Amino acid sequence: MSAVDSPVERVARPRPEAGPERAVWDAAATVTDPEVPVLTIEDLGVLRGVRIVDGSPVVDITPTYSGCPAVDAIRDDIVAVLRERGFPGARVDVVLSPAWTTDWMSDAGRRKLMEHGIAPPGRRAGGVVALGLGVRCPRCGSLHTRELARFGSTSCKALYVCQRCREPFDHFKEH
């Protein structure tokens, strides 16, 4: 979770202030991405909102990419976690708008990715770091890296190799 209360943060993580919605949010926020298990769906900005409809929680999530196969697993995990925490009968809705962007990934999420050996995405807009500076090797920290393949092990990643330490690594693409 990022403590920064920036405009991007408010869009990326529309966390309810209090009440049962907040309790449902906090429970759903513990669910991780099955393909990148160091990241929670809250870190990713995939958790989009929580409502209580006729006494039952409704959780909105958004896919990273249109065909992301992790959505079904995330949906099951949210329902299961909420049931364990005393919110049975939860429904998970998939919302497409606004379209997900890597700009919604939290600072904590970016750090966790780097520690996990995946180069985090740069900022697309509004940040201090402009695109095109290169991708930093998560192992040795060198910026002397090159793209090996534009598509990687999942939709959201590309394959890079470090020219200094020679190690290949995944890069979470700016999207």
Comparing CB distances to other proteins, the nearer of 82 and 119 is 82
Neighbour tally for 43: CB within 10 Å? 27
Location of structure tokens 């060198």: 142
Tell me how many residues contact other proteins (CB under 8 A). 41
The answer to whether the peptide bond before residue 98 is cis (omega within 30 degrees of 0) is: yes
Binding mask 113-152 toward other proteins (x if CB under 8 A, else -) reads -----------------------------------xxxxx
Comparing CB distances to other proteins, the nearer of 1 and 93 is 93
Report helix, strand or coil for 170. Answer: strand
Q: Which of 59, 125, 122, 65 lies closest to 94 in space, CA to CA?
A: 59
Which residues in 98-117 contact other proteins (CB under 8 A)?
98-100
Least distance (Å) from other proteins to the CB of residue 12?
16
- What gap in Å lies between CA 116 and CA 169, rounded to an integer? 10
Residues 6+ apart with CB under 8 A from 44: 33, 36, 64, 104, 105, 109
Least distance (Å) from other proteins to the CB of residue 3?
29
92 belongs to the binding site for other proteins (CB under 8 A): yes
The footprint of other proteins (CB under 8 A) covers: 34, 51, 53-54, 56, 58, 63, 65-69, 72-73, 75-77, 79-80, 83, 88-89, 91-93, 95-100, 148-155, 159, 175
